[in-house]
Structure 1
Amino acid sequence: MTTDAVAGLGVRRWGSTPAGGTAVLALHGLTGTSAVWADLADRLEAAVVAPDLPGRGASVAVAAAPGLPGLAQAVVRVVDELGPARVVVVGHSMGAFLAPLVVELLGPRAAGTVLLDGGVPPERSLLHRPLVVRALFGVLTRRLVRRWPDVDGYTAAAEGRAATDDPDLREGFRAWSEAVLRPDGDGFRPALDSRRLVADGVDSLTRPSALDLLHRSGAPVHLLAAAHGTDDRRPPFLSDSAVAAATRVLPGLMWERLAANHATMLFHPAVAAAVGRTAAG
C-alpha cells in the first residue's frame, strides 16, 4: 500500500470513516513507519489512519517542531484534515509516549487510547540519563542509517532476533524494511533522519510522564505490555512494578501481558482485540 499526502505527512489509510464515525490513529515507533500497522488494519473493521512521523519514510524531509510536542502537532493536523468525529489513538514504543500528547490536543474527539509497550515510564536506571540515552540512540542510528546491500541485511540489523526467530513473521518484518528503504546505487538506504530519531528517542525516555494527560481526558486507556524486550531472550521493557506505578496515576488502567516481544507484539491478535473494543466504545 502506498502513502498519500495528508496535511504535509505521508499517510497510509485502510478503510474509510463514515460521517460521524470513529477512526483508529496509529503511531509507530522510533525507527518505524506506518507500514508496521498493516497486520492490525487487516484484523480490524474500523478505519485505520497511520502517518509516517516527521523524519521517517514518506515524511523523512518534513520539518516539525522539536520533540514529541512537535510530532503531536503534525499528527493532529492530519486528523483535522481527515475529519473523523471520534479517534482511538494507538501507539507503539515511542508512539505510545507520543499518544498522550496527541490525546490532549484532540480534546473531546479522543475516544480512547491503546498503549503498546510504551507510554508508561520504565523503571529508572542509569541508562535513562539524558546523556546516556543520547549516546545509545546515536549508536543505533549510526548502525542503521547507512547504505545496505540488500533488504534482508537491513531487516536483520533493524529488528535483530525478533525478525529471524519466528519464520512465520519474517515476511511481515521484511515488508517493514521495504517501506523505509530507498534505492541507493546498487543497494538501499533507509529514509530516516538521524538527528530527528536521536532527539525523539531522548525525549521519549527522559521527559516527565504524560500519563496524567490521559487521566484528565477521561477516555479509557488500555496497556499491552510485551513479555520480552527486543527479542524473546530479553526481559520486558515494562516490568510489573513499572505498570503498577502507572496504575496509581491511571486508576482505571486496563492492562495485559502478551506472550510476545517488543516487535512481534504488533502481529499479536490481542492488539486488534483491544483496539476493536476501544473503538466500539
Structure 2
Amino acid sequence: MSATEAGHRYREIDVPVAGGMLHAAVWEPSDADADAATALVVHGVTASHLAWPFVVERLPGVRVVAPDLRGRGRSNGIVGPAGMAAHADDLAALLDALGIERTLVVGHSMGAFVSVVLAHRHPERVSRLLLVDGGLPLDVPAGLSTDELVAGILGPTATRLSMRFANAGEYLDFWRRHPAFDGAWTPELERYLAYDLVGDGAGAFRPATSYATTADDTLDMNAGTALPEALAGLQHPARLLTVPRGLQNEPPGLYAPAHLDRLLAAYPRVAHERVDGFNHYTIVMSPAGADVVAAAAREELAAATTPIRP
C-alpha cells in the first residue's frame, strides 16, 4: 500500500538553500485543511526522504514533510559544507517555503541529531521532538581520525558509498544480503534503495550520498560543538526511542545500556523508551516498527495541541 492509497497526496518540491536546492517531499492528507497537523521527519546519515512511507501511512490526517538532507538523494548537488547547523538551517528554510510556522520534528539516526540542533537554532519552529535511535551523543573513543570514526560507527554502510553497481538489481542484491533486513524485505524498501542510486558518469551507478559529506557530518555529530550546545540548552519536550540492535542487527545497538543511563542522567529533560524487537533500520523501515513510531508521533502531536492549564 502506498502513502497515496492510504490517504495522502505525494508531491516533491525544491527549495533554495545556501549552496543550491534542497529537495523534499510533502505527503498532504487528501482531506487536509489549513489547520492540519504537521510533522517534519528527518532521515539518517545515508538515507533519503523515502525512508518514511511506512510511518506516513500510519499518520492519517497529518501533513508530513520530509527532506533529502543536503548531500543525499536529490539534494546531492548542494555546494558547501554540511554539518548539523547547516542541515538545521536548511530545514528552517524548508518550513519557510511551505509556510509552516511550528511543527513536531521526528528525527531518525543522524536526523535526530539534526532535529535537536534545529530546535536550538530555530526554537520557535519546533513544538516537540521525537528522537528515534539518535540525538544523544554516541559512545565513541576520543582521538579517532575522521575515517576511523566513520568506519567505527557506520562500518559497511560507509564502505558501500565508494562502491559501483551495474544496475539497480545489483544494488538491491547487495542490500538483500544485509543482516538488518533479514525477514523485513518489502516493496517500499526496494523503492527507497533504488532512489538512492545515481549515475557515476562512466556507465555505472553509485549511492547518491558522498563519502565526504558523510564523513563531515559524522565528525560534526561526534566532535563538533553544535550538538552539545543544543543539548545543554534543550527547552523543548523531547522523547527518545531506542532499540536493542544496531546497523548490522547486532546487540546492543547504538546506545549500550550503561552509556544510555549516563546520558539520561545528564539530560533529564529527555524522556526515554526502549523498544524491543527492532534494529536501527527496522524501527522506521518496517510495518511493525512504523506502528511504534507513528503511535508516538500521534501522541506528541496531541500533546503539542493540548492547552497548558495554569
TM category (shorter chain) comes to: 0.7 to 0.9
* Ranges of 4+ aligned residues in structure 1 off by more than 6 Å: none
Q: Please give the root-mean-square deviation of Cα atoms over the aligned residues, in Å.
A: 2.8
Q: In the alignment, which residue of structure 2 is the partner of 1:100?
A: 116
Q: In the alignment, which residue of structure 1 is the partner of 2:133?
A: 117
Q: In the alignment, which residue of structure 2 is the partner of 1:239?
A: 256
**1:270 paired to 2:292:** yes
Secondary structure at 1:227 match in 2: coil
Give 1:239-258 correspondences, 5 Å limit: 239-258=256-275
> 1:56, CA displacement in angstroms?
0.9
Secondary structure at 2:274 match in 1: strand
Gaps of 5+ in 2: 1-9, 304-310
Are the aligned partners of 2:198 and 2:205 in contact in 1 as well (CA < 8 Å)?
A: yes
Are the aligned partners of 1:228 and 1:234 in contact in 2 as well (CA < 8 Å)?
A: yes
Between Structure 1 and Structure 2, which shows a larger proportion of helix residues? 1
> 1:39, CA displacement in angstroms?
0.8
Q: In the alignment, which residue of structure 1 is the partner of 2:279?
A: 261
**1:36 paired to 2:56:** no
Equivalent-residue separation in structure 1 for 2:51 and 2:69 (angstroms): 12
Tell me which structure has the larger Cα radius of gyration: 2
Q: Deviations over 1:191-248 (max 9, x none)?
A: 2222112111222233357366356453211111111012334421112223222322
Q: In the alignment, which residue of structure 1 is the partner of 2:12?
A: 3
Q: In the alignment, which residue of structure 1 is the partner of 2:213?
A: 196
Between 208-217 and 115-124, report the one with greater CA deviation: 208-217
**1:87 paired to 2:109:** no
Between 253-262 and 143-152, report the one with greater CA deviation: 143-152
Are the aligned partners of 1:145 and 1:192 in contact in 2 as well (CA < 8 Å)?
A: no
Give 1:200-239 correspondences, 5 Å limit: 200-208=217-225, 210=227, 213=230, 216-239=233-256
Equivalent-residue separation in structure 2 for 1:106 and 1:33 (angstroms): 23
Amino acid of the structure 2 residue aligned with 1:13: V
**C-alpha spacing 1:158/1:209, structure 2 compared with 1 (3 Å):** farther
Gaps of 5+ in 1: none
Secondary structure at 1:53 match in 2: coil
**C-alpha spacing 1:39/1:101, structure 2 compared with 1 (3 Å):** same
Normalising by the residue count of structure 2, what TM-score does the alignment of the two structures yield? 0.79
> 1:80, CA displacement in angstroms?
1.3
Larger RCO (CA under 8 A, 6+ residues apart): 1
Are the aligned partners of 1:130 and 1:206 in contact in 2 as well (CA < 8 Å)?
A: no
Amino acid of the structure 1 residue aligned with 2:13: D
Normalising by the residue count of structure 1, what TM-score does the alignment of the two structures yield? 0.87
> 1:27, CA displacement in angstroms?
1.1
